[in-house]
Chains A and B, each alone.
Chain A
Amino acid sequence: MIKFTLQVRVKQSEGALVRILGVTRRRRFDLLHLTADTTEDGHFLDILMTVQADRAENTLVRQIEKLEDVSQVEVVEPGDAVSEHRAARFTAC
């Protein structure tokens, strides 16, 4: 089992979040954590998700990055500013 966190930016469009979660499930990755926020201009959704699977990170990254409305996918290294931001958010909830 590997566990990793992805940061995804997707255009705000019909079903954008569901599409990404659908790919995640279909490719057999289990979702552990998720946050999603609309960017200030309202055009994009920034998603931070932690998943776990028996498959390599790239098999999910490559599938998500080819979705039409996705403009960015990155694996966030533990200790990164973003993941700390995420951790802070989780403790805040």
Chain B
Amino acid sequence: MKGAEFLVKALEHEGVELIFGYPGGAIMPVYDALLDSKIRHILVRHEQAAALAADGYARATGKVGVCMATSGPGATNLVTGIANAYMDSVPMVAITGQVSTALMGTDAFQEVDIFGITMPVVKHSFLAKTATELPRIVHEAFRIARSGRPGPVLIDLPKDIANTVAAYEFHDDDTNEQIAEASAESITRAIALMRESSNPVVYAGGGIGMANALDEFRAFIATTRIPVVATLKGLGALATTHELALGMMGMHGTKTANHAVQTCDLLVCVGARFDDRATGRLNAFAPNAKVIHLDVDRAEVSKLRRADVPVIGNLRYALKALACKLPNIEPWRRECTTAKEMHTWDYDAPGTEVYAPSFLKSLSDRAGDDAIVACDVGQHQMWVAQHFHFNRPSQHLSSGGLGTMGFGLPAAIGAQLAFPSACVINVSGDGSIMMNLQELATLRRYDLPVKIVLFDNRALGMVRQWQELFHDKRYSEVDLSDNPDFCRVAESMGIPAFRVDDRAEVSSAIDRLLAESGPVLAHVLIHQEANVWPIVGPGRSNSEMLHQHEVAREVTR
């Protein structure tokens, strides 16, 4: 057997069903071995999309996503997708072909030091030096990718190693790593703080879904009745329609969520990392709160905000251990839920144009409880976070940490392949869609029924909004009024498409979108100057949210 066959066999052994990739010289031995494997290979049209599709697959399933590319440009094209997975702690194994060992270090054709290039954005990486160690490397790579705080792992495979003939040594130590449980002392101290508090808030992050701790989290909330605010990745940890779910916090969070955090006396942070988009100006964040921080990664605890009580280890265990009744917080809970009822979204916008928030709200109401939404990056991404309902975090695929335009379509492809009969929607923007537009051809090739909602404001809307609000309307390189005709582009790639430019058509457009059995693109024109509200300006505290009606005054001040 050859090294390449070892690799494929080891991948099969890890339960890999799908690989997203793109072939080339140095990885050819692996593509040859794949022909004899039951693993399904998905040919994307750009390696970045392979990594992002593997990421979307992993977010939707909780399994390790696998992507593969050849050496040189193939490998460098994966980098954005690997970084995306790293920033959002998504389990991934990326396999790259490499030039032969003897050529490494000689600037050979299509040689790049992908091991070195990716070092800052991987959880770990391997360079295969012999064929016989490949089964061990693959096993280790999967273990590392999914253990503790998940992340991407790179395997760089020189072509001569892939071609080496040797005897296969099966490797499986089956060490299913147990994540340590939080210390009894930290649990006792945390409970004491919770009992002392009269206005606590739970700050729910992406770690809850990744730790598979939804049941424990929900039981914890049901017992304690603490109001919950969510990060972008924490949305759905508690169903967004739950009475105690106050919505998203941070830059584009709800008034209710930010106000609750800013006035609370105890912040229970669960699987989150005090990202600047969530906290606003850090030294003004939750100024009166003590902090209990639950996380599996102790490097996150007290990294940005000192934790009064760190609770480090398995979230499932900690949440179970911390669930206790807190009768004192009843008045505060009522205050929060009343505030939430007072500040519901207003879907009445002037004009006849499509109003994206209202479009998304209707789509969410009709797409069913299990729809998966993969979004791109920009205003439309924030509207999805604000107006879609999620029952689980794995329904909301959004590039949080890296904010990668072009994530949405490949991520939707990954999710649709994982769940062929699910309703998978890609909400994109006229800027973002162009970053991985070529993947429309992948939708067609595999006949994936992804529904694309393309919000077209003829602008890099989010940047335009910042220039309007924070750069005195000095618009610099944000106009996209020369966009192509997106319907014709889609149709030329075999994807049916239609245009929506009046709000009277929204309802029938949603019908058509959801009724289509295959892929479809709705090109939705919206006002160029529509903004995302509310917003916390750069360098501002979350107590200083700008609301639409205040802005004329604020900006001219």
Contact of B302 with A by CB under 8 A:
yes
B116 touching A68, Cβ below 8 Å: no
Given A14-B126, A14-B127, A15-B125, also A66-B297 (CB < 8 A): yes
With a CB–CB cut-off of 8 A, which chain A residues contact B303?
59, 62
Contact of B124 with A by CB under 8 A:
yes
Segment at the B interface, from A18-26, A29-37, A74-82, A83-91 = A18-26
A68 touching B124, Cβ below 8 Å: yes
Contact of B520 with A by CB under 8 A:
no
B119 touching A18, Cβ below 8 Å: yes
With a CB–CB cut-off of 8 A, which chain A residues contact B297?
66
Q: Given contacts A59-B303, A66-B299, list 16 more A-B pairs with CB under 8 A.
A: A14-B115, A14-B127, A14-B129, A15-B119, A15-B127, A18-B116, A19-B119, A22-B119, A22-B120, A26-B120, A62-B298, A62-B303, A63-B299, A66-B297, A66-B298, A68-B123
Contact of B144 with A by CB under 8 A:
yes
Given the complex of chains A and B, what is the CA–CA distance between A62 and B127 in angstroms?
25
Interface centre among A19, A26, A65 (most CB of B within 10 A): A19
Write the chain B residue with the least CB distance to A69. B124
Given the complex of chains A and B, what is the CA–CA distance between A54 and B127 in angstroms?
35
Residues of B within 8 A of A (CB): 115-116, 119-120, 123-127, 129, 144, 297-299, 302-303
Given A14-B127, A22-B119, A68-B123, also A58-B144 (CB < 8 A): no
Given the complex of chains A and B, what is the CA–CA distance between A15 and B126 in angstroms?
9
Write the chain B residue with the least CB distance to A13. B126
Write the chain B residue with the least CB distance to A65. B299
Given the complex of chains A and B, what is the CA–CA distance between A67 and B122 in angstroms?
10
Write the chain B residue with the least CB distance to A56. B302
Write the chain A residue with the least CB distance to B299. A62
Can you pick out 5 interface pairs between chain A and chain B where the beta carbons lie within 8 Å of each other?
A22-B119, A62-B298, A65-B299, A67-B124, A69-B124
Given the complex of chains A and B, what is the CA–CA distance between A62 and B304 in angstroms?
13
Min CB distance B553 to A, Å, is 38
With a CB–CB cut-off of 8 A, which chain A residues contact B298?
62, 66
Write the chain A residue with the least CB distance to B128. A14
With a CB–CB cut-off of 8 A, which chain A residues contact B116?
15, 18
Min CB distance A14 to B, Å, is 5
Given the complex of chains A and B, what is the CA–CA distance between A47 and B119 in angstroms?
19
Min CB distance A37 to B, Å, is 22
With a CB–CB cut-off of 8 A, which chain B residues contact A63?
299
- Hey, what's the 0/1 contact readout for A44-71 against B, CB within 8 Å counting as 1? 0000000000000011001101111100
**Number of A-B contacts defined by CB within 8 Å:** 32
Question: What are the 3 tightest A-B residue pairs by CB atom distance, in nearest-first order?
Answer: A62-B299, A68-B124, A14-B127
Write the chain A residue with the least CB distance to B124. A68
Given the complex of chains A and B, what is the CA–CA distance between A58 and B298 in angstroms?
10
With a CB–CB cut-off of 8 A, which chain A residues contact B125?
14-15
With a CB–CB cut-off of 8 A, which chain B residues contact A15?
115-116, 119, 125, 127
With a CB–CB cut-off of 8 A, which chain B residues contact A65?
299
With a CB–CB cut-off of 8 A, which chain B residues contact A62?
298-299, 303
Min CB distance B96 to A, Å, is 14
Interface centre among A62, A67, A69 (most CB of B within 10 A): A62
Given the complex of chains A and B, what is the CA–CA distance between A60 and B8 in angstroms?
37
Given the complex of chains A and B, what is the CA–CA distance between A68 and B297 in angstroms?
13
Given A14-B127, A68-B124, also A58-B119 (CB < 8 A): no
Min CB distance B113 to A, Å, is 10
B302 touching A58, Cβ below 8 Å: yes
Write the chain A residue with the least CB distance to B123. A68
Write the chain A residue with the least CB distance to B301. A62
Write the chain B residue with the least CB distance to A62. B299
With a CB–CB cut-off of 8 A, which chain B residues contact A69?
124
With a CB–CB cut-off of 8 A, which chain A residues contact B120?
22, 26
Write the chain B residue with the least CB distance to A14. B127
Given the complex of chains A and B, what is the CA–CA distance between A77 and B370 in angstroms?
56
Given the complex of chains A and B, what is the CA–CA distance between A62 and B302 in angstroms?
10
Min CB distance B423 to A, Å, is 38
Given the complex of chains A and B, what is the CA–CA distance between A45 and B426 in angstroms?
48
Given the complex of chains A and B, what is the CA–CA distance between A19 and B124 in angstroms?
9
Given the complex of chains A and B, what is the CA–CA distance between A18 and B122 in angstroms?
14
* Contact for B144 among A14, A19, A59, A68, CB less than 8 A: A68
Min CB distance A57 to B, Å, is 12
Min CB distance A6 to B, Å, is 15
Given the complex of chains A and B, what is the CA–CA distance between A63 and B124 in angstroms?
13
Given the complex of chains A and B, what is the CA–CA distance between A66 and B296 in angstroms?
11
Write the chain B residue with the least CB distance to A55. B303
Given the complex of chains A and B, what is the CA–CA distance between A66 and B303 in angstroms?
14
Write the chain B residue with the least CB distance to A63. B299
Min CB distance B145 to A, Å, is 11
Given the complex of chains A and B, what is the CA–CA distance between A9 and B116 in angstroms?
21
Given the complex of chains A and B, what is the CA–CA distance between A69 and B124 in angstroms?
9
With a CB–CB cut-off of 8 A, which chain B residues contact A19?
119
Given the complex of chains A and B, what is the CA–CA distance between A67 and B303 in angstroms?
17
Given the complex of chains A and B, what is the CA–CA distance between A51 and B299 in angstroms?
18
With a CB–CB cut-off of 8 A, which chain A residues contact B115?
14-15
Given the complex of chains A and B, what is the CA–CA distance between A35 and B113 in angstroms?
25
Write the chain B residue with the least CB distance to A22. B119
With a CB–CB cut-off of 8 A, which chain B residues contact A26?
120
Given the complex of chains A and B, what is the CA–CA distance between A15 and B297 in angstroms?
23
